């Protein structure tokens, strides 16, 4: 890429950049670690669920024909020939005139085709440990199949239970457990190297000195990458120096990162070495997008590894992450990038823009006429507090410079939005 660098429209930049990403390889992990991971293969059940017909109540397994006429004033007495707790396999067969005491989840014995809940018998509810009675009086009829869960009611052998490319939710992990799977095929998590070049940067906890600031972007980015499902390899604060930036990138590449992420050092300043390193030692495929905040965003490759050079200003870095990096990580994890969670909101104040596609920090709430938003504080791209106060970003499309109060605009909700 050679100067002059045009301002690439966001949609075009995103499309170009996403074309360079594909899902990482598949690994097998233990079931207990599979929550939130992205399933890589179709899961076809090898068993029926339930695997055997079982009782859904504590009561008595009966032959429904025996109790068809049972009533409060016409009790049917059955001989109790077996006691079936959960976890056992009943041996005998229930013949006419017989019943078996049975617990929830226990296998239905041969011959029985219904369960009468203990409440519908003369036995009543007994405390744990009570031995089975010799006989039982049934006071209510039970239809064939009553209170039992037939084999395969939920899942049949050979059925597809989960399709790939979904993030496993707790209930999904539960069904994998029910299927007896202990090793789960998932996409490998992207390993993301994060570096913060800047001679002005101090570690929080150090004594503030004239001209210095506390480094904050790596904390935000680490949180966002982790939230998305990536693993972070922290490279720390790097001096504004060509070799230092290059050495740091080399260390990351040698440690096997899938993606590199830096903030700052990509503008046109005399100390902006990130872009220089990419141009000389790597490949710069994109620089400067038509967005606000976040224009000086760079994308390329360093020794073959995809590289995002986010702007240094904290809000620009955040927005750049949300717009570009997150969809790319999502794709590496094997998911289809989710459409943005947006809704139409009414502006409570006028918005001015400079014609770039703008992402303005806003607070949305439900008013008498539906969703409405206010901007939060000064929109300077270094002011993180206004992002802390925001729960949405109002998107002003490119080429629009003014939206009067009262108009509808698109608001992007993110990060476990809370009113």
Helix, strand and coil content of the chain, in percent to the nearest 5, comes to 20, 35, 45
Contact map string, positions 306 to 325, toward ligand AMP, x by CB under 6 A: -----xxxx-----------
Sign of the alpha-carbon dihedral angle for 46, 331, 321, 409: negative
* Binding positions for Mg ion, rule: CB under 5 A: 198, 264-265
CB of residue 320 vs ligand AMP: minimum separation in angstroms?
11
- Which residues have C-beta within 8 Å of that of residue 218, sequence separation ≥ 6? 194, 195, 196, 234, 236, 237, 263
Q: At what angle do helices 242-254 and 273-281 cross, to 10 degrees?
A: 60
Query: Of residues 54, 196, 330, 386, which one binds ligand AMP by CB under 6 A?
Result: 196
Minimum distance from CB of 215 to ligand AMP (Å)?
4
Q: Which does 290 bind (CB under 5 to 8 A by kind): ligand AMP, Mg ion, none?
A: none
State the Cα angle at 85 between 32 and 91, rounded to 5°.
110
- Residue 217 binds which one of ligand AMP, Mg ion, none, with CB within 5 to 8 A depending on kind? ligand AMP
Largest CA distance in the chain: 98
We find the least distance from the C-beta atom of residue 386 to ligand AMP, in angstroms, to be 15
Classify strands 54-55 and 59-62 as parallel, antiparallel or unpaired.
Answer: unpaired
193 touches ligand AMP (CB under 6 A): no
Nearer to Mg ion by C-beta: 90 or 264?
A: 264
Instruction: Please report, as residue ranges, which positions from 205 to 264 form the binding site for ligand AMP (by CB under 6 A).
Output: 213, 215-218, 263-264
**Are 354 and 292 contacting, i.e. CB atoms less than 8 angstroms apart?**
yes
Question: Is residue 198 involved in binding ligand AMP (CB under 6 A)?
Answer: yes
Which CB sits closer to ligand AMP, 90 or 265?
265
Please tell me the distance from the alpha carbon of residue 216 to that of residue 316, in angstroms, as a whole number. 12
Q: Which does 194 bind (CB under 5 to 8 A by kind): ligand AMP, Mg ion, none?
A: none
The phi-psi region of residue 12 (left if phi > 0; otherwise alpha if psi is between -120 and 50; otherwise beta) is: alpha
Residue 267 as a binder of ligand AMP (CB under 6 A): the answer is yes
If the CB atoms of residues 66 and 272 are measured against ligand AMP, the closer one turns out to be 272
Closer of 198 and 294 to Mg ion (Cβ):
198
Residues that bind ligand AMP (CB under 6 A): 196, 198, 200-201, 213, 215-218, 263-267, 269, 272, 311-314, 382
């Amino acid at each position: 890429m050679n100067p002059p660098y045009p301002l690439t429209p966001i949609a075009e930049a995103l499309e170009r950049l996403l074309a360079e990403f594909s899902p990482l390889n598949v690994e097998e992990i233990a079931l207990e670690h599979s929550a939130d991971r992205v399933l890589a293969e179709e899961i076809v059940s090898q068993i029926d669920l339930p695997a055997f017909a079982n009782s859904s109540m504590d009561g008595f397994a009966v032959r429904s024909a025996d109790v068809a006429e049972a009533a409060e004033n016409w009790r049917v007495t059955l001989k109790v020939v077996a006691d079936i707790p959960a976890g056992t396999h009943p041996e005998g067969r229930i013949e006419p005139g017989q019943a078996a005491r049975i617990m929830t989840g226990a296998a239905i014995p041969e011959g029985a085709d219904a369960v009468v809940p203990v409440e519908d018998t003369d036995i009543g509810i007994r405390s744990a440990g009570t031995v089975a009675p010799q006989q039982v009086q049934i006071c209510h009829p039970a239809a064939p199949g009553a209170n039992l869960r037939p084999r395969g009611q939920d899942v049949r052998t050979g059925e597809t239970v989960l399709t790939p490319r979904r993030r496993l939710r707790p209930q999904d992990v539960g069904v994998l457990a029910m299927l007896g799977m202990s090793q789960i095929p998932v996409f490998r998590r992207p390993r993301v190297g994060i570096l913060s070049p800047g001679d002005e940067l101090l570690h929080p906890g150090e004594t503030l000195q004239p001209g210095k600031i506390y480094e904050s972007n790596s904390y935000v980015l680490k949180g966002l990458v982790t939230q998305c499902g990536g693993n972070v390899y922290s490279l720390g604060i790097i001096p504004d120096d060509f070799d230092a930036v290059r050495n740091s990138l080399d260390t990351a590449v040698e440690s096997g990162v899938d993606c590199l992420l830096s903030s700052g050092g990509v503008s046109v300043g005399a100390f902006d070495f990130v872009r220089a390193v990419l141009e000389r030692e790597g490949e710069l495929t994109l620089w400067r997008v038509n967005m606000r905040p976040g224009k000086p965003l760079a994308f390329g490759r360093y020794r073959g590894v995809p590289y995002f050079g986010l702007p240094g200003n904290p809000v620009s870095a955040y927005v750049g992450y949300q717009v570009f990096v997150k969809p790319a990580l999502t794709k590496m994890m094997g998911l289809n990038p989710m459409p943005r969670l947006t809704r139409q909101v009414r502006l409570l104040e006028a918005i001015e823009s400079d014609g770039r596609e703008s992402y303005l920090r806003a607070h949305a709430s439900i008013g008498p006429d539906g969703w409405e938003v206010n901007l939060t504080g000064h929109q300077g791209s270094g002011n993180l507090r206004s992002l802390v106060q925001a729960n949405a970003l109002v998107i002003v499309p490119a080429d629009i410079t003014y939206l009067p109060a009262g108009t509808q605009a698109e608001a992007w909700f993110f990060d476990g939005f809370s009113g």
